[in-house]
Structure 1
Amino acid sequence: MIRHLVLFKLNEGVRRDDPRAVAGAEAFRELGGVIPELEFWECAWNIADRPIAYDFAINSAVADADALRRYLEHPAHQAAAAMWREFATWVIADYEF
């Protein structure tokens, strides 16, 4: 199994209630029921208010590297990620467990 973690940081001046951020969060929430390669899916806004905290997180799992590639290339994932490019940056970690 591969764990796929993503942490998003909203760009300067963008708030969680920005319509783009609201739509982007909803687009990611929907992916769990849309992309068959996802064996585990959760995402949510961060509740920590520490200065180093990121704003939104995805925690997911897929069976193997091929499933991860199919997830990343899936049109629904591509569309959701494109939305976030307009108002955030992110970091990822993929590891086997």
Structure 2
Amino acid sequence: MIRHLVLFKLNDGVGHDEPRVRDGVRAFQELPGRISDVRSWEFARNVTDRPIAYDYAINCTVDDQQALVRYLEHPAHQAGVAQWQAFATWVIADYEI
């Protein structure tokens, strides 16, 4: 099993209530229903407001490395990534559990 973690930081001046952010959130909320390789899924906005905090997080699992590649290359995932590139940066970690 592979855990895929992503932490998103909105770019300076970008607010959570902007339509493009709301659309990006919706795109990622829909991923588990669109990508069959997803085994577990959590996507949420951070509840703390510390200077080092990121704004959103994804915590999901897939069966193996091949499933991770299929997830990452899936058109729905790619479309969501394209949206987020316009207003955020992120860091990731993928590891075996």
Length-normalised TM-score, structure 2? 0.99
Offset at 1:42?
Answer: 1.2
Structure 2 unpaired stretches of 5+:
none
Q: Equivalents in 1 of 2:52, 2:27: separation in Å?
A: 25
Structure 1 unpaired stretches of 5+:
none
Q: Equivalents in 1 of 2:22, 2:62: separation in Å?
A: 26
Overall identity of the aligned pairs, in %: 65
Q: Kindly report structure 1 stretches of 4+ aligned residues shifted beyond 2 Å.
A: none
Q: Equivalents in 1 of 2:38, 2:32: separation in Å?
A: 7
Matches within 5 A, 1:59-74: 59-74=59-74
Q: Equivalents in 1 of 2:7, 2:17: separation in Å?
A: 18
Length-normalised TM-score, structure 1? 0.99
**Aligned twin of 2:14:** 14
- CA RMSD, 1 decimal: 0.4
